[in-house]
Amino acid sequence: MAAPDHVSVALLGAGTVGAQVVRLLTERTDDLAARAGAPLKLVGIAVSDIDREREPWIPRDLLTTDADELVTRADIVVELIGGIDPPRRLVHAALASGATVVTGNKALLAAHGPELFDAAAAADANLYYEAAVAGAIPVVYALRESLAGDTVTEVLGIVNGTTNYVLDEMVTKGLTFDQAVADAQALGFAEADPSADVDGHDAAAKAALLASLAFHTRVPLDMVPVEGIRDVTVEEIAAAKEAGFALKLLAVARRSQAPGGISVRVGPTLVPEDHPLASVRGAFNAVVVESEAAGRLMFYGQGAGGAPTASAVLSDVVAAASHVVLGGRAPRESAYAALPILPPANQAVTARFTIEIEDRPGMLATVAGVLAEEGISIDSVRQAPHVEPAEGTDGPRTAHLTITTHRTWEDALATCLTRLADVAGVRAVLTARRIEGV
Amino acid sequence: MAAPDHVSVALLGAGTVGAQVVRLLTERTDDLAARAGAPLKLVGIAVSDIDREREPWIPRDLLTTDADELVTRADIVVELIGGIDPPRRLVHAALASGATVVTGNKALLAAHGPELFDAAAAADANLYYEAAVAGAIPVVYALRESLAGDTVTEVLGIVNGTTNYVLDEMVTKGLTFDQAVADAQALGFAEADPSADVDGHDAAAKAALLASLAFHTRVPLDMVPVEGIRDVTVEEIAAAKEAGFALKLLAVARRSQAPGGISVRVGPTLVPEDHPLASVRGAFNAVVVESEAAGRLMFYGQGAGGAPTASAVLSDVVAAASHVVLGGRAPRESAYAALPILPPANQAVTARFTIEIEDRPGMLATVAGVLAEEGISIDSVRQAPHVEPAEGTDGPRTAHLTITTHRTWEDALATCLTRLADVAGVRAVLTARRIEGV
């Protein structure tokens, strides 16, 4: 087979990321040709509105509204439209026509990944998605290829920049959640409707993809339990910090032996202050991978934004192009392990929770008794300074009791917290968070 | 071409890393076969002494002393002997016979890389070396492939675990350099003769490889100026910390515009305490890559040790094997840019230095005058509390003057420090360090 004189690239979508992809493709023609083995030629850009004002470097003669036609006439189709439809239909069409697909669409992959991977395999076509997880950070690459000779045991990731920015603002400036979200919106780090970020859904899609890659097992999005950060308070963060923890929204995926399977979840999580994830500031992302031979690895960088995400897209485009030029193919979806995904109740957990109790003799013994009955072993107990009853009330004085557990099970923890709420003298369960990275 | 029923692997060397490679190859047969696309078959292990006692999992019937014969009968040759000869001869022989070579030998690559890359290209063979830089951290991969669509501007790396451990012990335990080295030796982090590590030569070999990869330019080892850490004192580290800096042995590679070219060097360097490299503890390695589109990326992990290095070797073996099975090839040496390598004198630098002066009027004006004459602009000046003359001497009281410069040139800085040493009233130039990451 003679090497082709160029590799054709079709772009679907010309938004923030797409515009940066066009800029890099046109500014760095010679560099990209040297790395790919042949010149990359942009053959079309599918948009919904040809007449909209666009960045000056977008070649207007390449714009088209006929995406279905465009995907049939390129070696590489880059999908940056976002959302499920029409990307799902267009990716299928591109794969069916033998094109390599590069996408940054985590929602599409989390919802319909298996179907798309099957379609790619059936068409003997390649599907790349570095930009779908943690933006510019090459963690898909690392899990797909660099750790191919190793066995991953755990992945902990800060994979949503918006929530990390919000939590960081609460820590460093003492802002409330609402104030910090407003700040993030003003700076463009959060959407007008921030729920996909702050409720953890964006992180959950990435958690499903990371777990699938790390454990060679298809992990459906609806098997990922999610908690967001709306209920996090400045007071909780300050108390955690005093105890030596940072509170981060983490995607957690772990392989366990007994019961054998995969635990995966997203939620506000305590990590020790000397853990590398604790010092990830602002809108940065970071993913810590623990594996049997390599030990602990961390990958850190910008998880979003036009140029960083475009860098990840271009790395996939160059890899795809060199396969067009030289033969070979991308690593296929690796799902040979097919480990069971543990229901939340059967997952192991270490937790730290704070309850408000009446400050009278015997309360600690009662609380400790409930934990013992649920088989939960206590690592440490801390009783905070007394809290006086509100003025004008004559109730007894109260105290805050903070308990850190040893490793236990989610169902035991849930039962325990429910029972504690009903114990006479317990006013409320104030916070309960998982601990990772210890 | 029909897919082969297995991929044959020959191992040269069965030391700390080699033994772990054998363990992973034999323990994970099914996993590796699934990832490579065909079973990996170890066909021989070349050693210098067949009768030496070895780890129980080493198959004795595969041992041979005839490495020259072994390299001609494998699809993949893994070179883990170390040193220049015989590895140089054996790698040439393996490439000439069409085998893919995987090596972790940074000394060989830094000294003879271009010759080996040329040999690989001539034989249409592949050469992998992930394990040669920063052990388990996939930074070769990142620079070779993940950032293929981007333009790297700077690489800052802690790439020698021994020196990072020694400096960390000096910081956290207040040990002297000699005490910390003795500790590192007792724990197996340092060799009996630690000079390759503490004098910076190991880091320099990695700096040359990182700069070559980042800037698509052959960077010979003898163009890398090196300073080690033997002269670092606990007092200097404490003073740096008080000023908001951590002292790290860094490999630095930067692309500059005017004059256009590459700056590369290794030496003890100040980084701001909030820079991600400042918090890299113990024997860990980390590499920060700055690029135009992706922005700042950091890769962190274990840079040495049998199992972590073996993990990197296996990732190369799996990638190589999948090319044997599926076709295609590894990315070739990318040296198309061929940028000039700037001599040290022409490199830009920001510095912080401390001089001991007689404490009398006019000294600061004199010192500042020398800097001005050399065109060096001052960022800040700090005068430390007076130091009394030693008992029994009747000299004048002295002070320590610490000056942080704005960005200047290495030759201007060198001339300035030489001139300052001769100024009447200047007793000594105590320390002078470069600053990075600001």
pLDDT of residue A144: 87
If asked whether residues A290 and A416 sit together in one domain, one would say: no
pLDDT of residue A260: 87
Please give the C-alpha separations between residue A60 and each of A21, A43, A67, A218, B91, in angstroms, as whole numbers.
15, 12, 15, 41, 52
- The whole model's pTM is what? 0.93
- For residues B21 and B102, membership in a common domain is answered with yes
Per-residue confidence band for B258, with pLDDT thresholds at 50, 70 and 90: confident
Q: Between chains, do A315 and B146 touch, taking CB under 8 Å as contact?
A: yes
Separation CA A212–CA A207 (nearest Å): 8
Whether A141 sits inside 8 A of B145 (CB atoms) is: yes
User: Looking at CA atoms only, how far is residue A140 from chain B in angstroms?
Assistant: 10
Of the pLDDT bands very low, low, confident and very high (cuts 50, 70, 90), residue A300 is: very high
A319 CB neighbours in chain B (<8 A) are 145, 148
Q: Are residues B250 and B270 in the same domain?
A: yes
CA distance B302 to B325: 31
Q: Is residue B386 in some structural domain? A: yes
Q: Choosing among B284, B285, B311, which should be mutated to test the A contact, i.e. which has the most A CBs within 10 A? A: B311
Residues from chain B that touch A147, judged by Cβ atoms under 8 A, are: 138, 311, 315
How far is residue B435 CA from its own chain's centroid? 18
Whether A22 has a pLDDT exceeding 90, the answer reads yes
Task: Scan for tokens 């020698």, then name that residue.
Answer: B160
Which class for B328: exposed (0-12), middle (13-18), buried (19 or more C-beta within 10 A)? middle
CB-CB contact of B13 with B82 (8 Å): yes
Closest approach of B407 to chain A, Cα-based (Å): 26
Of the pLDDT bands very low, low, confident and very high (cuts 50, 70, 90), residue B233 is: very high
pLDDT value for A148? 83
Pick from A210, A219, A255: nearest CA to A111? A219
Could A315 and B150 be called an inter-chain contact, meaning their C-beta atoms sit closer than 8 Å?
yes
The band of A258, judged by pLDDT with boundaries at 50, 70 and 90, is confident
A273 interaction partners in chain B (CB closer than 8 Å): none
As a dihedral over the C-alpha atoms of residue B136, residue A256, residue A201, residue A86, rounded to 10 degrees, the angle is: 80
Does the annotation count B248 as an active-site position? no
**Mean pLDDT for the stretch of residues A218-231:** 95
Q: How far is A32 from chain B (nearest CA, A)?
A: 6
> Nearest residue on chain A to B335, judged by CA atoms?
A34
Tokens of A102: 């590069």
pLDDT at A386 (0 to 100): 65
Burial class of residue A172, CB neighbours in 10 A (0-12, 13-18, 19+): exposed
B339 within 8 A of B217, measured Cβ to Cβ:
yes
As a whole number, mean pLDDT of residues B325-331 equals 80
- Within a domain: A214: yes
Nearest CB neighbour to A297, from listed B136, B294, B336:
B136
Across the A:B interface, residue pairs with CB atoms under 8 Å apart total 185
Lowest mean pLDDT among A325-339, B42-56, B301-315: A325-339
DSSP one-letter code for A304: S
Assess whether A184 and A221 both reside in one domain.
yes
Residue A389's pLDDT band, with cuts at 50, 70 and 90, is low
Interchain pair B32, A149: CB under 8 A: yes
Residue A117 lies in a domain: yes
Q: Residue A207 maps to which CATH number? A: 3.30.360.10
- Through-space distance between the first and last CA atoms of chain B, rounded to whole angstroms: 54
Q: CB-CB: which of B294, B311, B312 is closest to A311? A: B294
The residues, ordered by sequence, that sit 6+ positions from A422 with a Cβ below 8 Å of its Cβ are none
Compute the mean pLDDT over every residue in chain B, rounded to the nearest whole number: 93
A280 and A153, same structural domain?
yes
Q: Which CATH number characterizes residue A52's domain?
A: 3.40.50.720
| pLDDT interval class at B2 (50, 70, 90) | low
Q: How confident is the model at residue B350, as a pLDDT?
A: 96
Chain A residues in contact with B32 by the CB 8 A cut-off are 149
A308 contacts on B by Cβ (under 8 Å)? 293-295
Q: How far is A42 from chain B (nearest CA, A)?
A: 15
Question: B171 and B261, same structural domain?
Answer: yes
Is the CB of B311 less than 8 angstroms away from the CB of A298? Answer: no
- pLDDT tens digits, one per residue of B269-318: 999 998 999 999 999 999 999 999 999 999 999 988 899 999 999 999 99
Chain A hits for B322, CB-CB cut-off 8 Å, are 328, 331
**A35, A136, A293: residue with CB nearest B148:** A35
Q: Is residue A339 part of a domain?
A: no
B41, B106, B173, B206: the active-site residue: B206
Distance from CA of A144 to the nearest CA of B (A): 9
Q: Which residue has the tokens 């840079």?
A: B303
| A169 shares its domain with A54 | no
Best of A24, A31, A143, A146 to substitute, by most chain B Cβ atoms within 10 angstroms, is A146
Read off the CATH number of the domain in which A408 is found. Answer: 3.30.70.260
**Strand B7-12 versus strand A284-291 pairing type:** unpaired
For residue A149, which residues of chain B lie inside 8 Å, CB to CB? 24, 28, 32, 35, 310-311, 313-315, 317-318
B-chain CB neighbours of A296 within 8 Å are: 300-302
Distance from the Cα of B298 to chain A's closest Cα (Å) equals 5
Domain residues for the domain of B405 are 344-435
- Same domain for B105 and B18? yes
What's the confidence (pLDDT) of residue B386? 65
Min Cα distance B221 → chain A (Å) is: 24
In a domain, A274, yes or no: yes
Domain assignment present for residue B355? The answer is yes
Cα separation, A11 vs A43, in Å, equals 8
B150 and A327 in contact by Cβ < 8 A?
no
What is the C-alpha to C-alpha distance for residues B372 and B413, in angstroms, rounded to an integer? 11
Confidence label for A308 from pLDDT (cuts 50, 70 and 90): very high
Best mutation site among B146, B277, B317 for testing chain A: the one with the most A CBs within 10 Å? B146
In chain A, whose CA is at the least distance from the CA of B314?
A: A149
Contact yes or no for B295 and A145 at CB 8 A: no
Segment B364-389, tens digit of pLDDT: 999 999 999 999 999 999 988 666 66
CA distance A146 to chain B (A): 5
- The pLDDT value given to residue B396: 74
CB atoms B314 and A20 under 8 Å: no
Quick one: A106 and A171 in the same domain? no
Same structural domain for residues B190 and B257?
A: yes
Question: Which residues are within 8 A (CB) of A343 and not within 5 positions of it... i.e. 6 or more apart?
Answer: none
pLDDT digit string, tens, across residues A51-107:
999 999 999 999 999 999 999 999 999 999 999 999 999 999 999 999 999 999 999
Which of A41, A206, A241, A248 is flagged as catalytic?
A: A206
Mark whether B81 and B215 lie in a shared domain.
Answer: no
- Provide the number of structural domains found in chain B: 3
Contact B403, B378 (CB under 8 A): yes
Chain B interface disruption, residue of A7, A22, A150, A151, most B CBs within 10 A: A150
Residue A385's pLDDT is what? Answer: 67
- Pair B400, B355: CB distance under 8 Å: yes
Query: How many C-beta neighbours within 10 Å does residue A154 have?
Result: 18
User: A145 contacts in B (CB within 8 Å)?
Assistant: 141, 315, 318-319
Q: What ipTM was estimated for this complex?
A: 0.91
Q: What is the mean pLDDT of residues B199-228?
A: 95
Would residue A1 count as lying in a domain?
A: no
Contacts of A304 in chain B (CB under 8 A): none
Q: Is residue A64 part of a domain?
A: yes
Between helix A363-373 and helix A410-421 the angle, nearest 10°, is: 150
Neighbours of A178 (CB within 10 A): 10
Q: Which of A301, A315, A331 has its CB closest to that of B145?
A: A315
**Residue of chain A with shortest Cα separation from B138:** A146
Are A149 and A253 in a shared domain? yes
